[in-house]
Amino acid sequence: MLRNLGILDHLQKIAVQPQAVLLRSARDGSVKSRLPLGEQAQDRWGASYLTCHRADLQSALLECVTANRGIKLKLDALAQGFCFTGDRVSHPLSDAQFDLLLAADGIWSGLRKEVTSLDARFVGRIAYRAMLSADHPAARAIFGTTPNVHAFMAAGFHTVAYPVSGGTAYNLVVVLPGNETQRGWVQGADLDELRHAFKSTILAPLIAADGWSQWPLYEVPPLESWSRPPNLLLTGDAAHGLTPFAAQGAAMAIEDASVLAGVLDDAGSVAEALAKFERQRKPRIEQVRRRAGFNSFAWHAAGPVALIRDLVLKHRTGAKLMADFDWLYGWRED
Ligand SMILES: Cc1cc2nc3c(=O)[nH]c(=O)nc-3n(C[C@H](O)[C@H](O)[C@H](O)COP(=O)(O)OP(=O)(O)OC[C@H]3O[C@@H](n4cnc5c(N)ncnc54)[C@H](O)[C@@H]3O)c2cc1C
């Protein structure tokens, strides 16, 4: 999809192509499973598996948006106060009338209440995030010099590290149990919680990473409908915010946009396009939701369950592991 939109060329300049996803024990660092990526991902799924900083993805999107004369971009504008009249939408600050309002206003969407009374719910976990220079001794010691995605499993928590910014840094995400806090990124995370989690693991040196911040994890439960026909549609996290355990929320938001463009092109009316969009996207989103739930269970397992997990992983070849992800990474639009 990013290739079709002309975004991939921009992104490839700064994104990293990791060689594998390594599932590792947080306790001793041993590799329990290796999902091959690199050229093998390209050959099997028809596109590279890339990791990048969110700002770099947004810059690549922005370059394409500003080069497209059909798009008017207005930043720093609060999207609120819309009027829905018949099948048209308008806004007090504009004379224009529109066919459709796309609410892509994220996990804490204000427009969601126009569609459903259900809201995002806290899942009892906090994500801690920081960046670590790839040259830092802790990065070299724990991640080595080959670009890989590392997922460290431990009883009750996990840590994911992946290379970004042309391989000069690692993005670190640690997910711990916690209580509901202020929504959004809070700078200056509680490092005592992290230190406590990292005790008796190989991850302790990661505490030296720059600017730990924290974010309470929410999800949007499956909604009966993502739209209020004929002219309002929720997309991305506003419609189906997922926990990040399958690393797919932004990917699903991008898929939404591409599928929506296709159905709007093909359908006879906006209402028909909305119905087709929901029919296509809902099974896909629910499959990703199940995968995220499974990862959460498997990565945080303790005791005998963890032993069985490690045994199962040990006997899975790289080819078998890749086949397990065909439905996710090999997916194509209808
Ligand atoms: C710790 C963590 C790790 C993650 N890792 C991954 C990953 O590896 N891969 C992946 O694919 N996804 C990942 N995700 C998920 C990903 O961040 C989200 O799914 C994605 O950002 C959703 O995109 P969106 O455009 O729907 O919403 P957002 O990115 O939240 O964008 C919504 C925007 O709307 C703005 N907004 C809200 N209300 C208004 C308003 N009234 N007017 C104007 N603007 C408004 C918000 O400020 C925000 O900028 C992760 C999430 C977390 C928390």
Task: Establish whether residue 214 lines the binding site of ligand 1, counting it when its CB lies within 6 angstroms of any ligand atom.
Answer: no
Q: Are residues 135 and 44 in the same domain?
A: yes
Atom of ligand 1 lying closest to residue 242 CA: 19
Is the domain of 293 the same as that of 323? no
Distance (angstroms) between ligand 1 centre and the Cα of 244 equals 11
Residue 92's pLDDT is what? 84
Angle at 256 between CA 147 and CA 294, to 5 degrees: 60
Cβ–ligand 1 contact at 206 (below 6 Å) = no
When pLDDT is cut at 50, 70 and 90, the band that residue 210 belongs to is: confident
Percent of residues, the chain, with pLDDT higher than 70:
100
75-109 pLDDT tens trace: 998 888 999 998 999 998 888 899 999 999 999 99
Residues sharing a CB contact under 8 Å with residue 266, sequence separation 6 or more, in sequence order? 273, 276
Give the residue-averaged pLDDT of 223-232.
95
141 vs 159: CA distance, rounded Å: 16
Ligand 1 closest atom vs CA 175 = 1
Do 46 and 175 lie in one domain? The reply is: yes
Contact residues for 300 (Cβ-Cβ < 8 A; gap 6+) = 153, 154, 155, 156, 157, 158
Q: So what's the pLDDT on residue 89? A: 96
Q: Which domain holds residue 227?
A: 99-120+222-300
Q: Give me the mean pLDDT over the 13-30 stretch.
A: 97
171, 212, 237, best to mutate for ligand 1 pocket (most atoms within 8 Å of CB): 237
Same domain, 207 and 130: yes
Peptide bond into 221 cis (omega under 30): no
Is the pLDDT assigned to residue 187 strictly greater than 90? Answer: no
Same domain, residue pair 202 and 280: no
Residue 243: which pLDDT band, with cuts at 50, 70 and 90? Answer: very high
CA of 107 to the centre of ligand 1 (A): 7
Considering the domain architecture, whether residues 167 and 141 belong to the same structural domain is answered as yes
What is the identity of the amino acid at 243?
T
- Looking at the fold, whether 105 and 250 belong to one and the same domain comes out as yes
Position 87 in a domain = no
Residue 5 in any domain: the answer is no
Lowest mean pLDDT across 48-57, 180-189, 253-262, 298-307: 180-189
Parallel, antiparallel or unpaired: strands 149-154 and 121-133: unpaired
Cβ(216) – ligand 1 distance below 6 Å: no
- Indicate left, alpha or beta for 294 from its phi (over 0: left) and psi (-120 to 50: alpha): alpha
Average pLDDT, the chain: 94
Same-domain check for residues 258 and 153: no
Q: What is the pLDDT of residues 140-158, one digit of tens each?
A: 999 999 999 999 999 999 9
CATH number at residue 201: 3.30.9.30
Alpha carbon separation from 332 to 259, 280, 328 (Å, rounded): 10, 11, 9
Q: Would residue 208 count as lying in a domain?
A: yes
C-alpha 197/C-alpha 203 separation (Å) is 9
The answer to whether residue 75 sits within a structural domain is no
Residue 115, pLDDT score: 96
Examine residue 9 and state whether it is found in any structural domain, yes or no.
no
Residue 55 placed within a domain: no
Q: How many domains in the chain?
A: 2
Whether residue 243 is found in the same domain as residue 215: no
pLDDT at 119 over 90: yes
Is residue 193 included in any domain, yes or no? yes
- Residues with Cβ within 8 Å of 283's Cβ and at least 6 positions away in sequence, in order, are none
For residue 186, pLDDT over 90 is answered with no
Q: Are residues 181 and 231 in the same domain?
A: no
Residues 317 and 295 reside in one and the same domain? no
Strands in 88-90's sheet, in edge-to-edge order, are 83-85, 88-90, 97-98
Same domain? 195 vs 320: yes
Instruction: Give a yes or no: residue 211 inside a domain.
Output: yes
Pocket lining: 321 vs ligand 1, CB cutoff 6 Å: no
Which H helix or E strand runs over 332?
Answer: none
What CATH code is carried by the domain that includes residue 115?
3.50.50.60
